[in-house]
Each structure stands twice: as C-alpha cells, then as structure tokens.
Structure 1
Amino acid sequence: MPDGSLPPNRPLPEPAARPLRDADALAAAGLVPPGSLPTLRAVAARYAVSVTPAMAALIDPSDPKDPIAAQYLPHPAELEASPLELEDPIADHPHTPVTGVVHRYPDRALLKPLLACPVYCRFCFRREQVGPSGGVLSEAELEAALDWFAAHPQVKEAILTGGDPLMLSPRRLGHIIRRLSAMPHIGIIRLHTRVPVADPARVNDALAEALDTETALFLCLHANHAREFTPEARAALRRLSRAGVALLGQTVLLRGVNDTAESLEALLRAMLECRVKPYYLHQLDRAPGTARFEVPIAEGRALLASLRGRVTGLAWPTYALDLPGGQGKAPIGPDFAERAEGGWQVRGPLGGGHFQADGATSEGSPTAG
C-alpha cells in the first residue's frame, strides 16, 4: 500500500508482555522462522536485539519486505562487513573529553548518560556500543560529565543521546535536566529518542514532569516509517506537546523502509499530524553490516526533490551526511538553483523555471544579499 499500512485482513502477531531480546524469543513469537535460528543467534551474540511489544505488534511476519521488521529483526547480512564500514563511523571516541561527553562542534556537545535503548535498530551507527547492559554512567561519572558542561561556557546546547535518554528513570532524567538548566550558558537542551513510538507507555506524567524546564527544550523523535505512528504513539506525542515540549523529527533514509516517494511522504505527513517538525533526513552512516540499507546519495537527492511542491515546506527536512572522522553534518540535499551568466537559473518545484538576473548597485556591481 502507498503509505505502508497493513491491509485490514492481514493478521498481526500477538504483542509480547515484555521486549523480545534474543533470536529464540523472536522465533517463539512467530517473527522469524525457526530454521534461521543458528545464524540469527550469531547475529544477536554480536549486536543487541530488542523488539518492544509496540513494535512486535506492527510486524507482519508473512511479508518478507515488511518495513518494520527490516528495522528491528536481526538479519544474516549483519555479519558481512564492508571495507567502507567503520566501527565508529562518526568518531565519538576521539572527541570524548570525559566519559559520557562527545564534543565536536564549538557550541554544542552530546551527553550520553546510558547506552540502552527500547529497541536496537539494525542500522545503528553506535551498534558496537549499545546493548542491554546499558552502559549507564555511575553517579560519579554523571556528575563529572555535568561538571564538564558547567566548565565550558562556549557550549550553549546540551544534547542528550546514547542510547535513549528517555530510558532513564524520571528521577534521574529530571536531575540531569535541572543541572543543565541551572547553567547560565546552556540555552538549549535537546533529547534524541525513539521511546514515544517504540515504547509509548513510558511517556507518562512523571516523564513529562521531568522534562519541565524554563530552558528551551527540544525532543527529537527518531521514526522511519508512517506505521510507527500508532494511536498509542500519537497519544504519547500529544502528552509531550501538551507539556510544552517542542517536537522535532529525524529519519534515516533506508532501503526497503522509506526509499520511495510514497513512503517518505506518508512518514513526513504523519510527523506533522503529531506536531513533529521534520528536522533531519540522514544518509546512512556506514556502520558494520549495514550495507543492505544504503540508498545512494544521488537517489536520495532525487527522492527528496520529488517531494518539493508535493508536500508543505513544513515537512521539508535537511538531507545530511554525518562526515566520518567527526567532521560534522553536511547538507547534501537537492539543488534548485544553478549559477548562470548574469544571474541564477532556478528550477520550479511545480514545473518550469525562472532566470533571476543579478541586481546592480549604483556603481554597477551586483548587490549583496
């Protein structure tokens, strides 16, 4: 179907009582064939597995191209690494001044209070680090990380990531938010999370209260397919919106998940319906065993260009590549303007185009701006 939703007569697996954390549990739930267990056990031994009840309920095991299954179920191809793939593709480690902090940009830094997630994406760029052990910072490590932020007034934005910061208890998360909010130079707090779609029951009043701060706070939701916006997910996002949390959306462009105009449009529209402003469309980071998900940049640019004029500008994300070596995110989106003699040739998203001649000052030189 164009929006990726299931036909009404297609059965869904019964949701599990708790997350499915290994290949045998996935087979018992009917999500993977028993004959694949030896290989999938080997995959799960290397890369963490967790599928929440909310996501298990969305998977159609009879569809070999199910876009939800592709994101969360282990696959034999994960054991095949390419020379182009890197264990630390965005270079967290070289830019870690203290445990739990990553500082690449002058004005912002990451705080990673834990390395556990509600679900483990099969394309994750931190897949060598995250897992059920959690990698939770000790009290001393957390305080040292927060002290680092306090000691660096040039850092204006603190970005909580990991792992998923909404996996923390509301008490611990609230403590972090309060400490950061008390720093005069921290003007923005941002949280990157999958929880509202992957485990919406966690978004309760206690969590909303933990996020209550006078400092500008943005929650950046990671979602890749329109079907992830279930009624429960929509209710969780509405609760956050009512609590005054500004909502942004980030998506990874993935082969077999959202690499058609129809699926990407449905996703962007679902975000906006939930008051989530699409923020980033990420080119896949080349982590080990993720090649099956990669969409070539040229194809991604053409895909995004096809949506210009088809969806509101509110739905338009920045298509970006996080450069290896920690060099930052570079926009790689489609171009609609080309330099031509005496001006610019601009392509119209609704067809046709326009030549915009350079303006001139009284001296006859082009105007600035």
Structure 2
Amino acid sequence: MSVPLSLPPARRTLRTAADLAAAGLLPEAEREAAERVGARYSIAVTPAVAGLIDPADPADPIARQYIPDAAELLTAPHEVADPTADAPFTPVKGVVHRYPDRALLKPLLACPVYCRFCFRREAVGADGGVLTEAELEAAFAWFAATPAVREVILTGGDPLMLSPRRLEAILARLAALPQIELLRIHSRVPVAAPDLVTLGLAAALGRIEAPLYLCVHANHAREFSPAALEALGRLHRAGVVLLGQSVLLRGINDSAEALEGLFRTMLRARVKPYYLHQLDPAPGTARFAVPVDEGRALLRALRGRVSGLAWPTYVQERPGGAGKVPLGPAFEPV
C-alpha cells in the first residue's frame, strides 16, 4: 500500500537523498553523491529502520547498511552484476534452479528496505517486478513438471511484502504439489518493517500444510527492536519455524563481540542462526568486504563463548552459480 508523500519523513519510508537529509540521516555535504547513487540503485529506509539509526554516530552499523554512499558507484575488478548467477539458472521467469532438490521462486522484486550491499541490487527496486498471473502459473507448471525439486524458497525481493491472501495462495499452491516437502521464505520484513507482520499474516502462514521455515535476514543485534520482537513472536506462536541469516560486513558485524551479540539476540527472539554469508561481490560493495580468513578467525573466537545453537554455517557462493560451500573454520582433533 502506498503512503501519501504528505506525511512527515518520520512516518513514511524514505526513498530519496532529499528524504534522508530532511530526516537528519544524511549530511547535506553528502546529498549530491547520494542522489547519484539513487539514480542507479533504489533507496528505501522504513520508519522502523530510521528509528534505529543514531545520526550522531558516523559509524552507526544500522545506517551503514541502508544509507547510500558514493563508493557504490565504484566497481572493483572482481565485482560482477550477477554474482550468484541467477540468470543462467532461470528456466522460467521468477524461478532459479541451481540445486537438484530445491529452487527459488521470486514472486516480486520489491523490498521494504534496500541494503547497500545487496547482491540483487541491479534487479530489485521500486517498480516491484511482480510476476503476472500468467508468469506465476508458468512457474507453478514448472514446479509441477520437475519432481526432483522438493523444497521451494520464496525470495525476491521480499515475499512478506505481498498481501497475506496473496502469499498464502502461492504457498498453498506449492504445498499441494505431491513432491514438495519443505517451503522456505527469506525476508527482511520482521526487522525492517515489523508492522507488516500482522496477526492476519501470521495466521495465513500458520495455515500452510507443508513444513514452513522463515529465514530472517539481520546483521546487527540492534535490528531486533521491541516491534521486531513482537512481530517474531506472532510468527512463532503461529507455528512458523524461524531461522536467521546474516552477511559478514565490514563496519557492521566484523568483530567477535558484534557477532556474539547478534547470535545471542537471535536466539532470545527464537531465531536459530542458520547462515553467515561471505559477502557476494556485487558492484560497488567492496567497502563491506571482510576477507575469508578474518571471518574464520571471528567464528573460531566464538567457539566456546556461545552455545552451539548460536553457531551458524559460514558459507560462500561459488562463482558461476555453482552454489554455496561451507568455509569453516577448521579445528584440529584432540
């Protein structure tokens, strides 16, 4: 649902450099550069996220995830537009099939917020990219004709941006296929726009017959606001299994203390840390990159400090769409 632009910035999603400056989240000296970034990559900062940002802190880990920066317009030699190689593995529009037993369904390409490190940043945006009825039917037909696929992962874009009725209908169609054993949703909504997680949405997800997992993307403990905790609680009470996925990011969670805080906070919110992703080399994201060896050292430092429940699998996408590989760290046997 669109929000009237006459609302003050604090009550609507901020979508331009001017919005960010008016809200006190972007210094005036950086506005022109942010406008150039916004001409290429979408900007969106929800009221929930804006309320978490400390504008007095130039290194604020929430702001760093969402506020545009001139560095986004610089492409490093190793960066590519489609680092996960979605395009070559797209049999029909909206479907990505890289693994034999699972496939992605992207019913839309809109998100509540736009992360400055997103590997799909060339595709997602304000136009929404919603699949038409015909395109969605073609996707359902592909799943029906591909019995090897046992798990469907709804991603995008953010599937929780769909109406509860629409999302439930899509999930129910997939769950009705005899070979589908698992359904998964990847979403930023519970932490970035928790008001969208209504009782109606939670009830809709709770009615799905197939096992349903919701993988919540969060990168810093502060993203679990009181409103986010309430939203996650509604989902938990509806019977949705909650997993957590994060990206290892310079200046956001690249310390043992930040990761420990993130994973402990996830567990308190009944979210099991699932994946810690090595940054995908999308254009203009080099400022967020943490070397793999450093990532391994960070996780090694956490071993023994946190419960095994707090331990995610550290993974990296292999080039050319070859899928994820665990990165360790390795430990010597006793």
Q: Name the structure 2 match of 1:274.
A: 269
User: Secondary structure in 1 aligned to 2:99?
Assistant: coil
Does residue 318 of structure 2 align to residue 323 of structure 1? Answer: yes
Q: Name the structure 1 match of 2:114.
A: 120
Q: Name the structure 2 match of 1:265.
A: 260
User: Deviation string for 1:112-161 (max 9, x for gaps)?
Assistant: 00000000000000000000101000111111111111111110000000
Matching of residues 198-237 of structure 1 within 5 Å: 198-211=192-205, 212-237=207-232
Matching of residues 44-193 of structure 1 within 5 Å: 44-193=38-187
Q: Residues of 2 paired with 1:203 and 1:162: CA distance? A: 18
Q: Residues of 2 paired with 1:282 and 1:227: CA distance? A: 19
Q: Is the 8 A contact 1:189 1:215 kept in 2?
A: yes
1:246 pairs with 241, 250, 255, which one? 241
User: Given residue 100 of structure 2, which amino acid in structure 1 is its aligned partner?
Assistant: P
1:301 pairs with 255, 274, 296, which one? 296
Q: Is the 8 A contact 1:238 1:274 kept in 2?
A: yes
User: Secondary structure in 2 aligned to 1:192?
Assistant: strand
1:21/1:15 Cα in 2 relative to 1: closer, same or farther (>3 Å)? closer
- Give the greater-gyration-radius structure (CA): 1
Does residue 16 of structure 2 align to residue 26 of structure 1? Answer: no
Q: Residues of 2 paired with 1:321 and 1:301: CA distance? A: 12
RMSD: 0.9
User: Secondary structure in 2 aligned to 1:332?
Assistant: strand
Q: Residues of 1 paired with 2:183 and 2:77: CA distance? A: 36
TM-score normalised over the length of structure 2: 0.96
TM-score normalised over the length of structure 1: 0.87
Q: Residues of 1 paired with 2:220 and 2:263: CA distance? A: 9
Q: Is the 8 A contact 1:177 1:210 kept in 2?
A: no
- Write out the 4+ residue segments of structure 1 that deviate beyond 3 Å after TM superposition: none
Q: Residues of 1 paired with 2:227 and 2:34: CA distance? A: 30
Q: Is the 8 A contact 1:77 1:289 kept in 2?
A: yes
> 1:210: how far off?
2.1
> 1:15: how far off?
6.8
Q: Residues of 1 paired with 2:132 and 2:165: CA distance? A: 15
> 1:18: how far off?
1.1
> 1:173: how far off?
0.4
User: Deviation string for 1:286-321 (max 9, x for gaps)?
Assistant: 000000000000000000000000000000000000
Q: Name the structure 1 match of 2:11.
A: 17
Identity of aligned residues (%): 67
User: Given residue 209 of structure 2, which amino acid in structure 1 is its aligned partner?
Assistant: E
Q: Is the 8 A contact 2:9 2:19 kept in 1?
A: no
> 1:171: how far off?
1.3
> 1:209: how far off?
2.2
User: Secondary structure in 1 aligned to 2:244?
Assistant: strand
In structure 2, list runs of 5 or more residues that go unmatched.
Answer: 1-7
Q: Residues of 1 paired with 2:140 and 2:160: CA distance? A: 18
Q: Residues of 2 paired with 1:311 and 1:320: CA distance? A: 19
User: Deviation string for 1:318-362 (max 9, x for gaps)?
Assistant: 00001121000000011013xxxxxxxx2xxxxxxx2xxxxxxxx
Q: Name the structure 2 match of 1:196.
A: 190
User: Secondary structure in 1 aligned to 2:82?
Assistant: coil
Q: Residues of 1 paired with 2:209 and 2:9: CA distance? A: 38
Q: Residues of 2 paired with 1:150 and 1:207: CA distance? A: 26
Q: Residues of 2 paired with 1:243 and 1:123: CA distance? A: 32
Q: Is the 8 A contact 1:15 1:54 kept in 2?
A: no
User: Secondary structure in 1 aligned to 2:328?
Assistant: coil
* Alignment: residue pair count: 326
Q: Residues of 1 paired with 2:66 and 2:296: CA distance? A: 26
Q: Residues of 2 paired with 1:129 and 1:323: CA distance? A: 20
Q: Residues of 2 paired with 1:323 and 1:22: CA distance? A: 34
Q: Residues of 2 paired with 1:172 and 1:40: CA distance? A: 35
Q: Residues of 2 paired with 1:56 and 1:220: CA distance? A: 22
User: Given residue 170 of structure 1, which amino acid in structure 2 is its aligned partner?
Assistant: P
Which protein has greater RCO, CA pairs closer than 8 Å, 6+ apart? 2
User: Given residue 221 of structure 1, which amino acid in structure 2 is its aligned partner?
Assistant: V
> 1:83: how far off?
1.1
